[in-house]
Amino acid sequence: MKIIYMTLLIISEITDSRSEQYNVVGPTDPVLAVAGEDVILPCYIKPNSSAEDMRVEWYRLDLQDSVVHLYQDHKDRNTDQIQSYSGRTKLFKQELQTGNTSLKLSTVQVSDEGLYKCFVQSESWYIVNVRVEVVGTPPLITIDGFDHSGGVHLHCEIKGWYPEPELVWLDREGVTLKSEATDTHRDTDGFRVKHTITVYNSDSKYHCRVKLRHHMLETEIITSSKMLNSLRLFVIWTSVAVVFSVIAVILIAAFIHKHRDLNREKMKNQEEHSLLLQRQKIIIPYVLARFRKHAVTVTLNPYSAHPRLTVSDDGKQVRDGNTRSTEVNNREKEQSDTFDEYLAVLGKEGFSSGCFYFEVQVTGQTEWDLGVTRESINRKGRINLNPVIGYWTVQLRDGEYWACDSQPVSLSLSVDPQRVGVFVDYEEGLVSFYDVEDRSHIYSFTGQYFSEKLCPFFGLGYDWNENSAPLIICNDF
């Protein structure tokens, strides 16, 4: 009888342990994931018990052939796994013994958004809702003309966000402004949204803000009467130039039957000039982070430097050394590509495609030139800096700022730049200059044509520069 009693007791205990219930649990709220980053889909056994000997299955409920990850007999068995998840899923093997059956999903894609089922030992499961976010470009503010009452049209545009974000304009007090026009499109890269407002306060600050759940980016623009007056004059003179260009084209066409070859060349030049004027657009680049994505390493090439210049050992600083050293004289005998009259030096690096950006500190220096130049430019004699011969620069002379275009352009800057940013888009033919600390636009060369490598250009004027302050290439951003 005692043996029978013990046998019944053991059978009862086994039956009771098999009848013990466990639940698979997880978060009640959706799991938010950012495209390109990793995310953990939580799933746990309660009460805590080991899942090392159990079958753990992750499925997509909204897809056919929906195996995301399968663990069985102490191994991952992903032969039937959805192809897009290959190599991107992982269980926390060391934590299975504590009942942690969570799944790590690497390099999240927009297509990963959906409902996931965590299924343990074919008895209990939990559903995880994954929502994916894509953070796109920061808001870009541009000025697009004026209306008849003197208002300024401001555009704010963002690209590549998912799902559709909220884009709003705010005044300097943080009050939301109503957009006059909204343009929204969706493509494979996400949503592109553009909002337009018209402002009439000539001295104020406006913000454009994009929000998406837990992400927010913002750009501001400061309008001033001086800036707006300059823009109005630019628009007026551009319109006048276009009208005269059209008239010139008509006159040339009227006489083309007498001077066909000559007139054809003149018409081509006029059409190119008209196209250049139409393409000119003033962009206010207050989001320097956008350009700093294209930052490149720039070091000075001492073998291109004028003999008076002193280049630091790390190639990041240049100043007028006021003397010709023996080392420089020997170098000059060996090299024929130094500047011999202009106090200038080039960057070692050359760029022949894409976008690139660098910043230079000019604090304390009273005479400087910055920009880019063709690698093959002439470096001898008196150089007239302009795009025609391959220089795209701005400069400071006698307390005045100039853009060295085909005809020098006087620049009216509200403050003296301490750090200048140089941005180049090779394919678009764009060279732009920015006051980094004031977050303002200095000047842009547009519609240019580049056919060879461009090198960063640094100058301290002609013959001598008594100011000892160096030009410094910045790497602290």
Q: Determine the pLDDT at residue 466.
A: 85
Calculate mean pLDDT across residues 366-370: 95
Of the candidate ranges 75-79, 236-240, 278-282, the one whose mean pLDDT is the lowest: 278-282
> Following CA atoms 331, 336, 339, 344 in sequence, which dihedral angle do they give, to the nearest 10 degrees?
-60
Question: How far is residue 434's CA from residue 365's CA, in Å, rounded to a whole number?
Answer: 17
- Nearest-5° angle of CA 368, CA 472, CA 302? 85
pLDDT of residue 252: 64
Task: Report which of 338, 347, 334 is spatially closest to residue 307, judged by C-alpha positions.
Answer: 338
Edge-to-edge strands, sheet with 419-425: 309-311, 317-320, 471-474, 355-361, 419-425, 430-435, 440-445
For range 456-472, the mean pLDDT: 90
Whether the Cβ atoms of residue 248 and residue 106 lie closer than 8 Å to each other: no
Sequence-separated (6 or more) residues with CB below 8 Å from residue 99 = 44, 45, 46, 47, 48, 49, 50, 51
Are the beta carbons of 417 and 304 closer than 8 angstroms? no
Of the listed ranges 132-136, 265-269, 302-306, 443-447, the one predicted with least confidence: 265-269
Is pLDDT above 70 for 48? yes
Q: Which residue has the tokens 């100011």?
A: 467
CA distances from 318 to 330, 392, 448 (A): 19, 20, 29
* Tens-place pLDDT, residues 98-121: 999 999 999 999 889 999 999 998
CA 437 to chain centre: 18
Highest mean pLDDT among 6-15, 247-256, 325-334, 386-395: 386-395
Q: What is the pLDDT of residue 250?
A: 66
Give pLDDT, residue 171.
87
All structural domains of the chain with their residue ranges: 23-133, 140-223, 226-279, 288-474
Confidence at residue 123, expressed as pLDDT on a 0 to 100 scale: 65
* Residue type at position 404: C
Of the listed ranges 87-91, 385-389, 462-466, the one predicted with least confidence:
462-466
* Among 176, 278, 169, 272, CA closest to 218: 169
Q: Please, what is the Cα angle at 263 between 259 and 267, to 5 degrees?
A: 165
Note the CATH architecture for domain 140-223: Sandwich (2.60)
Strands 124-133 vs 31-34: parallel, antiparallel or unpaired: parallel
Helix (H, G, I), strand (E, B) or coil at 225: helix
| Nearest-5° Cα angle at 307, 306 to 309 | 70
Residue 233 neighbours by CB under 8 Å, 6+ apart: none
Please determine, looking at this structure, whether the domain spanning 288-474 carries the CATH number 3.20.20.70. no
Say what the pLDDT of residue 344 is.
94
The answer to whether residue 325 scores a pLDDT higher than 60 is no
- Other CB atoms within 10 A of residue 437 CB: 13
Determine the CATH number of domain 23-133. Answer: 2.60.40.10
Fold equal for 23-133 and 140-223? yes
pTM above 0.75, yes or no: no
By mean pLDDT, which of 9-13, 129-133, 195-199, 247-251 is the weakest?
Answer: 9-13
pLDDT of res. 266: 45
Q: At residue 61, does pLDDT exceed 90?
A: no
pLDDT at 174 over 90: no
Residue with tokens 């008594």: 466
Q: Is the pLDDT assigned to residue 289 strictly greater than 70?
A: no
Both structure tokens of 423:
């941005």
* Arithmetic mean of pLDDT over the chain: 80
| Residue 405 near residue 442 (C-beta atoms within 8 A) | no
> Residue ranges of the alpha helices (H) in 255-386?
260-279, 288-292, 326-334
Q: Model confidence at 441, in pLDDT bands (50, 70, 90)?
A: confident
DSSP element (H, E) containing 89: strand 89-91
How confident is the model over 187-214, as pLDDT tens digits?
878 899 999 988 877 667 888 999 887 7
What token pair was written down for 14? 């086994």
- What would the two tokens of residue 179 be? 């957009």
Q: Which two tokens stand for residue 150?
A: 């003197």
Q: For 307-323, give the DSSP string.
A: TTEEE-TTS-EEEE-SS
Adjacency order of strands within the sheet including 166-170:
176-177, 166-170, 204-212, 215-223
- DSSP bridge pairs for 236: none
